Amino acid sequence: MAARVIVVTSGKGGVGKTTTVANLGTGLALRQKKVVMIDTDIGLRNLDLLMGMENRICFDLINVAENECRSFRQALIKDKRVENLFLLPASQIKNKDALTAEQMVRIVDELKEEFDYILIDSPAGIESGFENAVAPATEAIVVTNPEVPAVRDADRIIGLLQAKKIYEPLLVLNRLRSDMVKKRDMLDVDDINDILAIKLLGVVPEDEQIIIATNKGEPVVFNQQSKAGEAFRNIVRRLEGEAVPFMSFNTEPGVFGRFWKMLHGR
Amino acid sequence: MKLFRDDPSSKSQAVERLRLILVHDRAKVSTGLLELLRNEIINAISKYVEIDEDQMEIELNSSEAKAELVANIPVLKVRRALDN
Ligand SMILES: Nc1ncnc2c1ncn2[C@@H]1O[C@H](COP(=O)(O)OP(=O)(O)OP(=O)(O)O)[C@@H](O)[C@H]1O
Ligand SMILES: [Mg+2]
């Protein structure tokens, strides 16, 4: 078994990287895949909170990197709800430079043999934390929001990933609001596709269930009623190679519709 | 195109702004893009005209509405057209 190693990154902060990792990790494990999620956001760890695992951390990524525990197994936290789902938490202490890219590559090499998927949650930015997160990855998911700054940073990140030979990063467009798209006050899926021109893995709507999920420490992908949960379940299936149709958010008229409106004075 | 310009929605403003921003971001980031372009242009047109490479200028300009690649290429000689 050699794991798929996927880094989830964005450039801009707060767009939904950690939310994406928690839900894809959980969703993949729900499909009987063996998954480990690595939080590389040193000093600002969050993934443990989204997973509801914060009280069970003994060792962290830095401890593993510095060989301060017997093996990575001691640091892995096992999920209590789903079989085969593990978290390697970030360190909350020390400075960000405590970790090196070489250490990340070594750790992931060891994990690779025992898992189907290794999902790496990258910190925001394009500095060493980003470099460390990307170093061991062979695939990447770029998360963005339908807003000018987030799309700009996504474009930059795509360039940096390609420079690191990850030529075909996949896009997750998060926090889309169909009401705003309808009023033409938000970039839609076509606009983003046009501008970034990379393969779309999924579109996740703005959904208050995500906040409720974070309150509980239980990823929204468990929630059968949630639209965002459904979006993440679809993304998981696409990652697994299924051709799943995209949920329709694009409620605005296409080119034809616009001409029609013009002809009829709307 | 007109259709687009007349669209005052904030989304179409976002699209237009992003297009311009990314032209500049990408040009800036890919080191030597202009240098590369310059060399390719010289290669392409040297078949037809002899140019003054030292005086050649190429730059990326932008205004509020558009970005444009401006090349100023002094021509020294035009090569004689081959018969036929
Ligand atoms: N689809 C969504 N609907 C509503 N809220 C969302 C959605 N996605 C993310 N959020 C909220 O946005 C915030 C940021 O999400 P998250 O922590 O996943 O982003 P991040 O990219 O990991 O941030 P950072 O760069 O700080 O690591 C959180 O409060 C989260 O609950
Ligand atoms: Mg995060």
Q: In this predicted model, what pLDDT tens digit does every residue of A128-181 receive, in sequence order? A: 999 999 999 999 999 999 999 999 999 999 999 999 999 999 999 999 999 999
| Residues A159, B26: C-beta atoms closer than 8 Å | yes
Which of A159, A185, A186 shows the shortest C-beta gap to B29? A159
Helix, strand, coil % in chain A, rounded to nearest 5: 45, 15, 40
| Residues A152, B18: C-beta atoms closer than 8 Å | yes
Residue B22 falls within a domain, yes or no? yes
* pTM of the full structure: 0.87
Within an 8 Å CB–CB cutoff, is residue A149 touching chain B? no
At residue A255, does pLDDT exceed 60? no
Kindly compute the dihedral angle of the four CA atoms of residues A135, A140, A141, A146, in this order, to the nearest 10 degrees. Answer: 80
**A210 CA distance to ligand 1 middle (Å):** 8
| Residues A151, B18: C-beta atoms closer than 8 Å | yes
pLDDT, residue B28, reads 77
pLDDT, residue B84, reads 53
Residues A156/A185, Cβ–Cβ less than 8 Å: no
Which of A175, A180, A210, when mutated, tests ligand 1's pocket best, judged by the most ligand atoms within 8 Å of its CB?
A210
The residue nearest atom 6 of ligand 1, judged by CA position, is A210
Q: Is the distance from the beta carbon of residue A39 to the nearest atom of ligand 1 less than 6 Å?
A: no
The residue nearest atom 2 of ligand 1, judged by CA position, is A206
Residue B4 falls within a domain, yes or no? no
Residue A256 vs residues A136, A259, A261, A263, B2: alpha-carbon distances, Å: 46, 5, 9, 11, 15
Atom of ligand 1 nearest to the CA of A46: 17
Q: Is the distance from the beta carbon of residue A214 to the nearest atom of ligand 1 less than 6 Å?
A: yes
- Looking up tokens 């579109």 gives A203
Residue A61 to residue A256: CA distance in whole angstroms: 53
Residue B6 falls within a domain, yes or no? no
Residue B49 falls within a domain, yes or no? yes
* Phi, psi torsion values for A122, nearest 5 degrees: -90, 150
Best CA proximity match to A1, nearest among A110, A116, A111, A85:
A116
Best CA proximity match to A90, nearest among A128, A52, A64:
A64
Residue A226 to residue A220: CA distance in whole angstroms: 7
The residue nearest atom 3 of ligand 1, judged by CA position, is A206
Stretch among A72-86, A169-183, A198-212, B70-84 having the lowest mean pLDDT? B70-84
**A156 CA distance to ligand 2 middle (Å):** 18
Within an 8 Å CB–CB cutoff, is residue A266 touching chain B? no
CATH assignment of A4-264, given 2.40.30.10, 3.40.50.300, 2.102.10.10, 1.10.3720.10? 3.40.50.300
Residue A160 to residue A166: CA distance in whole angstroms: 9
Host domain of residue B35: 12-78
A233-253 average pLDDT score: 83
Q: Is the distance from the beta carbon of residue A226 to the nearest atom of ligand 1 less than 6 Å?
A: no
Per residue in A64-111, pLDDT (tens digit) is 999 999 899 999 999 999 999 999 999 987 676 789 999 999 999 999
A40-52 average pLDDT score: 96
The residue of chain A nearest to residue B28, with distances taken between CA atoms, is A156
pLDDT, residue A184, reads 97
pLDDT > 90 in chain A, percent: 88
Residues with C-beta atoms within 5 A of ion ligand 2: A 17-18, 46
At residue A50, does pLDDT exceed 70? yes
| Residues A159, B18: C-beta atoms closer than 8 Å | no
Best CA proximity match to A158, nearest among A187, A195, A118, A188:
A195
Domain edges within chain A = 4-264
Residue A171 Cα, gap to closest chain B Cα (Å): 17
Tokens of A100: 């090196």
Per residue in B17-68, pLDDT (tens digit) is 999 999 988 887 766 788 888 889 999 998 899 999 889 888 888 776 778 8
At residue B11, does pLDDT exceed 90? yes
Within an 8 Å CB–CB cutoff, is residue A258 touching chain B? yes
Residue A29 to residue A35: CA distance in whole angstroms: 6
B4 — pLDDT class (breaks 50, 70, 90): low
Alpha helices (runs of H) in B1-84, residue ranges in sequence order: 2-5, 10-29, 33-45
Question: How many folded domains does chain B comprise?
Answer: 1
The residue nearest atom 15 of ligand 1, judged by CA position, is A16
| Residues B30, A187: C-beta atoms closer than 8 Å | no
ipTM higher than threshold 0.90: no
**A119 CA distance to ligand 1 middle (Å):** 17
pLDDT, residue B7, reads 77
Residue B84 falls within a domain, yes or no? no
